[in-house]
């Protein structure tokens, strides 16, 4: 009973903490101090060691509880040998939205395969087919074990004849297939070129053992070209199968462009004249090389970029040329204006290019500089509230005023220019009580609710997403309202974004962890709404968030950064697990953000970029382009992710401040003086960071 007592203690602690949660904390649902929650967790623990005979008695008391299927599922996984097909079918029929239903099916199939019950395996597989390669290999095994040789061999051949490695679960099948004289040299050659086309050269090299002499000679020539990309321009690639020709050309010119983009572009311009102009390869390499040229601020690079796309066929390259023009030592506003007018109509009408259009127009026409007193400090690329295309005859003030109505980074810049208030354009969601009531009757939604009461948001999210898959459109529109009502704020943010409810700001920008942000912002002498905006952009306030590269928690700290920050500022940190604790994460994230703020002389734009891309990169960008107007510097950040990140953070800060009733400027007075519309036609003095 010690385990049960421990569970009970933990739950009591959870209830106590949740009951005093303030409004600024993501608290999910308030757990009710009901014995059923204690009983559920207790049975969960007991099922890990309970005998088969004891299971039924453990489960019976909770048969009406929404999370009962999890206990039943756990029992089935513990004793798959005791299962029957009827029990599996009954479970699958009873819980069609259960997120782990496929794992039960897989456990049952694994047991049948282990027992050699292959005909039953086929029957079970057909109940809930699984198209993964591992289970397709098992299906082929089942055919071979049940005198369905023709189907089994055909399926095995199709599984082997792909351009990627198959899972280890297929090894036994392929070994059995090989004993029958497979694969033939022609099959191996076909697979080799499939692998080459997919860039899976490790597999391709492995397949040499199955190739005949001619096949090996051709494959070796192909691999030699991959190692010497400079030879491709003069090589006869027509000796290779068509599927591999494009791959070797693409890989070669991409490699050359990474080494030195301008010579690669010259070679590509000469080479592409021999290719069909409409081919996907031409498009791919034009855009790849063109985007790299855009960040090489030389006259030659600009000329090569214009030759890549002289007729402005690729909007990606036109935007790249615009950023190249905005990144020049002295911006040629006539070029900027001309390039904008060649963009497709929808891009011309976007906030981004409307902003640069009016700047280009203004910088060609002498006007008195506008010194705005107040600006807001963030923007949201997730929202667009102004549509329409600008006419060249439209007065500049009209364009500025129209743009200033938009809730976006550029809209906020325009509002500052015109000394207008920021427009948040908040539209509270009109809840239909009947739809919301029906939504909460959904079994998966009910299970999600119970998981939240147990403070297990990962399991809750699986149920939530499973429910979404089968909801009607009007029900999906209510998901953000329901998750917001529950206090599941990370989910409400994601639900509103998923449903493109851009103006539903209550769900998209909830004030969370306010006490922690207030305390740490004050301690580190940074703006609290800025730190909040960083967390909103980094994780959408998900404490347990972890990125593919290992960044953790609300403010997405890398373990190495967190360790150094903790040591520097005397913050206790034992391992990486505390990074999922909001208090620890916000303390470390705020300290690191303050460090970036000091390092970049109180410039939030540069500090935000450094928080995302690293301070060394930002210092390099400043040395290369620090003389640019600040908005042009942001627009020409080489990493698209960091460019959008900075714009979002600055915009989010405005939104949070405005919603809190605070007056805020998106940029400081000194930063505003660095904007393009303040610069006129005169080049600014270089501003470098040493």
Query: Which residues are known to be catalytic?
Result: 538
Report d(CA 359, CA 364) in Å as an integer.
8
Region of residue 525 (left: phi > 0; alpha: psi -120 to 50; beta: else):
left
What six digits make up the tokens of 456?
């297990």
> Exposed e or buried b for every residue in 172-185, given b needs 16+ CB within 10 A?
ebbebbeeeebbee
Half-sphere exposure (Cβ direction) of 297: Cα atoms closer than 13 Å: 17
| Alpha carbon separation from 461 to 67, 438, 449, 552 (Å, rounded) | 14, 19, 10, 18
Which single residue is written with the structure tokens 């102004």?
A: 386
Q: Is the torsion defined by CA of 665, 670, 676, 681 positive or negative? A: positive
Query: From residue 519, how far is each of 230, 319, 474, 515, 525 by CA, in Å?
Result: 58, 42, 41, 6, 10
Alpha-carbon span 465 to 459, nearest angstrom: 10
**SS3 labels along 530-557:** HHHHHHHHHHCCCCCCECCCCCECCCCE
DSSP 8-state secondary structure symbol assigned to residue 81: G
In angstroms, the CA 512 to CA 510 distance is: 6
Q: 546 has which bridge partners?
A: 552
* 237: helix, strand or coil: helix
Burial 453-466 (b: 16+ CB within 10 A, else e): bbbebebbbbbbbb
Buried b (16+ CB within 10 A) or exposed e, 1-20: eeeeeebbeebeebbeebee
In the 3-class helix/strand/coil scheme, how is 287-356 assigned residue by residue?
HHHHHHHCCCCCHHHHHHHHHHCCCCCCHHHHHHHHHHHHCCCCCCHHHHHHHHHCCCHHHHCCHHHHHH
Nearest 5°: the CA angle 421, 647, 537 is: 105
- Cα(600)–Cα(608) distance, integer angstroms: 10
Q: Which long-range contacts (CB under 8 A, 24 or more apart) does 289-292 make?
A: 289/253, 289/257, 289/261, 289/264, 289/265, 290/314, 290/316, 290/317, 290/320, 290/321, 291/316, 291/317, 291/320, 292/257, 292/258, 292/261
Structure token digits, residue 516:
């922690």
Q: Tell me the CA end-to-end span of the chain in Å, nearest whole number.
A: 65
Query: Do 636 and 626 touch, CB atoms closer than 8 A?
Result: no
């Amino acid at each position: 009973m010690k385990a049960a007592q421990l569970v009970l203690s933990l739950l009591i602690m959870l209830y106590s903490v949740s009951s005093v949660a303030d409004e600024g904390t993501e608290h999910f649902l308030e757990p009710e101090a009901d014995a059923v929650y204690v009983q559920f967790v207790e049975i969960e623990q007991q099922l890990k060691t309970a005998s088969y005979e004891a299971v039924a008695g453990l489960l019976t008391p909770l048969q009406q509880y929404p999370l009962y299927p999890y206990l039943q599922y756990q029992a089935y996984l513990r004793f798959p040998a005791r299962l029957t097909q009827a029990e599996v079918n009954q479970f699958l029929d009873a819980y069609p939205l259960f997120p782990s239903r496929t794992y039960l099916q897989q456990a049952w199939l694994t047991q049948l395969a282990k027992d050699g019950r292959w005909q039953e395996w086929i029957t079970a597989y057909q109940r809930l087919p699984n198209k993964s390669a591992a289970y397709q290999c098992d299906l082929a095994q089942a055919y071979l074990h049940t005198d369905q040789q023709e189907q089994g061999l055909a399926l095995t051949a199709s599984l082997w004849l792909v351009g990627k490695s198959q899972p280890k679960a297929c090894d036994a099948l392929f070994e059995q297939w090989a004993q029958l004289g497979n694969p033939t040299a022609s099959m191996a050659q076909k697979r080799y070129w499939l692998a080459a086309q997919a860039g899976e050269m490790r597999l391709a090299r492995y397949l040499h053992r199955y190739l005949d002499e001619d096949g090996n000679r051709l494959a070796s020539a192909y691999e030699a070209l991959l190692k010497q990309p400079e030879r491709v321009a003069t090589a006869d690639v027509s000796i290779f199968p068509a599927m591999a020709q494009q791959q070797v050309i693409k890989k070669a010119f991409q490699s050359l462009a990474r080494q030195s983009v301008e010579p690669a572009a010259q070679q590509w311009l000469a080479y592409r004249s021999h290719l069909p102009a409409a081919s996907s390869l031409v498009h791919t390499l034009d855009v790849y090389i063109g985007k790299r040229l855009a960040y090489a601020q030389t006259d030659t690079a600009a000329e090569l970029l214009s030759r890549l796309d002289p007729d402005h066929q690729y909007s990606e390259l036109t935007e790249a040329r615009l950023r190249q023009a905005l990144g020049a030592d002295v911006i040629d506003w006539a070029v900027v204006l001309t390039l904008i007018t060649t963009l497709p109509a929808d891009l011309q009408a976007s906030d981004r290019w409307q902003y640069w259009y009016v700047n280009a127009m203004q910088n060609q026409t002498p006007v008195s500089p506008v010194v705005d007193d107040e600006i807001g400090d963030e923007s949201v690329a997730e929202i667009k509230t102004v549509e329409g295309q600008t006419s060249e005859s439209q007065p500049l003030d009209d364009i500025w005023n129209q743009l200033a109505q938009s809730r976006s980074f550029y809209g906020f810049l325009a509002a500052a220019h015109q000394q207008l208030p920021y427009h948040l354009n908040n539209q509270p969601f009109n809840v239909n009580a009947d739809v919301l009531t029906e939504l909460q009757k959904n079994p998966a939604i009910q299970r999600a609710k119970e998981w939240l009461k147990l403070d297990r948001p990962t399991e809750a999210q699986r149920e939530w997403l499973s429910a979404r898959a089968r909801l009607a459109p009007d029900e999906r529109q209510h998901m953000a309202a329901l998750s917001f009502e529950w206090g599941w704020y990370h989910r409400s943010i994601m639900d509103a974004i998923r449903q493109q409810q851009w103006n539903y700001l209550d769900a998209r920008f909830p004030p969370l962890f306010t006490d922690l942000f207030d305390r740490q912002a004050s301690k580190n002498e940074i703006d609290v709404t800025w730190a909040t905006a960083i967390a909103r952009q980094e994780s959408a306030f998900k404490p347990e968030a972890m990125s593919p590269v290992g960044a953790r928690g609300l403010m997405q700290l890398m373990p190495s950064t967190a360790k150094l920050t903790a040591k520097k500022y005397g913050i206790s940190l034992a391992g990486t697990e505390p990074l999922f604790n909001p208090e620890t994460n916000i303390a470390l994230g705020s300290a690191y953000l303050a460090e970036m703020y000091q390092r970049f002389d109180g410039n939030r734009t540069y500090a935000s970029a450094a928080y995302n891309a690293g301070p060394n990169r930002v210092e390099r960008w400043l040395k290369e382009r620090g003389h640019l107007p600040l908005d042009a510097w942001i627009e020409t950040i080489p990493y698209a992710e960091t460019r959008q990140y900075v714009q979002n953070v600055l915009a989010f800060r405005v939104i949070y401040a405005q919603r809190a009733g605070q007056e805020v400027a998106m940029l400081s007075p000194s930063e505003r003086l660095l904007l393009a519309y303040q610069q006129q036609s005169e080049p600014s003095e270089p501003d470098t960071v040493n």
